Chain A
Amino acid sequence: MAAPTHDVLIIGSGASGGMTARILTAKGIKCLMLDAGPPTDYEHDRVTRRVCDLPYRGFGQPGRFPHVTQADEFNANVWADEKENPYSYPPADPYYWVRVRRIGGRTLMWGRASWRLSDYEFKAKDHDGFGDNWPISYADLAPFYDRVEPIFHVSGRKEGFAQLPDGVFIEDTSIDSQSMKRFLAAAKTRGVPTTKPRRATGALASSLNLLLPDALATGNLTLVPNAIVRRLTVDKSTGLVNGADFVDRHSHQELHASARIVVVGAGCLESTRLLLNSGIANSSGVLGHYLFDQFYVKNTIQAIVPEARDGKGGEGMMGGAGYIPRFRNLDTKEKDFIRGYSVDFGSGGTPNPKYFPLYGEALQKALVSHQNTGFNATTMGSVLPRFENHVSIDPVVKDAWGIPALRIQARYTDNEFNMARDAMNTLAELCHDAGFELLEKHDRMVPPGESIHELGTCRMGDDPKTSVLNKWNQSHDVKNLFVMDGSSFVVGGSQNPTLTILALSMRASEYMAEQMRTGSL
């Protein structure tokens, strides 16, 4: 076989792939990046259209995205086509697998919420006895969080919460509206902590804009779009990976890329699918297992601020957003669940017409009266990593390029259901205390996967018998194979995971570069 053309092959251009490329190329390491999607150009790929000029008036083509509730008629062309990229699940346990196949990956569409994990997650087993700890602690990752946040211009407010460590923020100095002050006061009275959102600022904060340009500018990154990786290839004499077979999305031409080291950052389940299809890195037997995410109870409560009715919501009454970090099971112990949940809440806007049991002129008058009166909150809860929640290769289903598809088996349990009920009741109490009128409350979570925060299935650990990767995101079995994305998580908490994925991939990339420099890799 010919000598490798590149030092490192990176599969995927999203958060982890983009960060890996940025770190390695800055050190002079020659990288080849394959991504299954086409190039993305914010300037040319997006145009202004009127909703009335769209073929489906904003409804979208019926049935095109049965599992992507985030899709609308404006953004439909961003999401991975479910017919080209099928997967399966048991009929009784629907799983919503939401994917993007474009350069930049899912960072093109993420909500930009940027929260650090804490040792309540990294050392979760020490705290409540369930499952396993990460092989790293918060102190190991903190220096990398410190460096990632400035790249993504994360805004926030420092609070000193042990369960939600502060970061290097653009200080959020926004003033709370009157309705927000009422809710915050109600929360404080009940001992519920609150803070400002922590977000990467800028609508275009993505791998495409913030990571890949620096990597490309070094001249050390070759980016190949429309390259759908079929399998990783292995040198039989050494057992090391030596590249990847891939197929061109358009021509269906079969091609091969070679490299000394392979980094997989295709996005959690796609990464695990690739390893399973390659038949490697699974001496532990846990590859594909311990799938989890964050459960979402969207619009757990929808309330109105009564004083804002009939156009009185101006003058500082309405507006603003906030976050309740986990507050359960920190210093106390709940009876019917371990770990905890977080809440996004916001003031302003008009409640959806569905909440009003009216129609006709009465409905239209109600909508006018309730304009800018809304207050709602969405719960994000920690899901326990369980061995039985797993992915495997479907024996029948294949994608449009003949690559075996995933079968996903995941279900929530009483720990999550009880947590969701607690969140609903707590939020209803807070709204009551704040003097808001509740239109609806519920504790029904969206199907697993819909939060787009799928994690695990290729977890890290110190013991090669119970984990796939070591603490450097490096395969226990195949030393020149790294898996950088959310599949490496051991525990996820209730925080959105992207910031941690970025910090992990930065950390692992620097380790890899040092190993290369010393000749260990």
Chain B
Amino acid sequence: MKRRHFVGSIPFLFATPELFGQAIGNIQQIPGFFTPPQLAALRHLSDIVVPAIGGAPGALEAGAPEFLDFLVSQSPTPTKNLYRTGLDTLNARASAKYGKAFAAISPEQADELLAPLRDAWTYEEPRDPFAQFLRHAKADVLTATLNSREWLAATKRSGNGAYWLPPE
């Protein structure tokens, strides 16, 4: 399959019903919620979940990790804790197994740590907080990538929707 056809045929996802919220104007995205080791782990995880394929934008090109740094910073405490603890766990497990931070291990090494992502999806959330984190991170990285300007441009999709303006 040629790259352009492959990219163009990836199903378009945005504003899924499971994701809620609203727009407020002129939000400034100031990175810095995650610590540098956490952000580095998130960047590596994002690259593994949605890699650039054949030159098409992946999560890194779409700025997904930096966007999630902003989004999580605005989120309720449970979401903040889920991400912080999950990223710390990634680093801790990588360090214990490979003697390196998660960001420094290879994708093949990362596969072992990401085993919960290969479990069949169930309606019930996993009991293990780390598996919960991976499930949410996968969904969030995907959405942040596919709803990015870079992705829409590459797939020649408009990303248009009917936006309700705030009441007067």
A78 touches B163 (CB 8 A): no
B93-151, CB < 8 A from A: 107, 114, 117-124, 135, 138-140, 142-144, 147-149, 151
**Does A65 lie at the interface of the complex (its beta carbon under 8 Å from any beta carbon of B)?**
yes
Query: A371 near B: Cβ within 8 Å?
Result: yes
Give the interface segment out of A53-61, A110-118, A213-221, A454-462.
A53-61
User: What is the interface of chain B mostly: helix, strand, loop, or mixed?
Assistant: loop
Residues in B neighbouring A358, C-beta threshold 8 A:
117-118
Residues of B contacting A53 in the complex (Cβ-Cβ under 8 angstroms):
149
A interface SS class = loop
What residues of B have a CB within 8 angstroms of the CB of A51 in the complex?
14-15, 147, 152, 159-161
A414 interfacial contact with B, CB 8 Å: no
Chain B residues with CB below 8 A from A49, complex form: 160-161, 163
Assess whether A162 is interfacial by the CB under 8 Å rule.
no
Is A444 engaged at the interface, CB distance under 8 Å to the other chain?
A: yes
Q: Which of B9-54 contact A (CB under 8 A)?
A: 9-11, 13-27, 48-51, 53
Contact indicator per residue, chain A 4-47, by CB within 8 Å of chain B (1) or not (0): 00000000000000000000000000000000011000001111
Known A350-B11, A353-B142, A364-B53: A444·B22 in contact at CB below 8 Å: no
Count of chain B residues with a beta carbon within 8 Å of a chain A beta carbon: 64
Chain B residues positioned under 8 Å from A71 (CB to CB): 20-22
B81 vs chain A, min Cβ distance (A): 13
Number of interface residues of A (CB under 8 A): 58
What chain B residues lie within 8 Å of A77 (beta carbons)? 22-23, 164-167
Q: Does A99 contact B (CB under 8 A)?
A: no
Chain A 356-372 interface mask (CB, 8 Å, partner B; 1/0): 11111101100110010
Given contacts A51-B159, A68-B20, contact A102 B167 (CB under 8 A): yes
Report which B residues bind A (CB closer than 8 A): 1, 6, 9-11, 13-27, 48-51, 53, 67, 71, 74-76, 79, 107, 114, 117-124, 135, 138-140, 142-144, 147-149, 151-152, 158-168
Extra A-B contacts (12), CB below 8 Å, given A52-B159, A55-B27: A47-B162, A51-B15, A54-B23, A56-B23, A60-B19, A61-B23, A65-B21, A72-B17, A78-B164, A359-B48, A361-B51, A364-B50
| Partner-B contacts on A (CB < 8 A) | 37-38, 44-66, 68-78, 102, 311, 350, 352-361, 363-364, 367-368, 371, 439-440, 442, 444
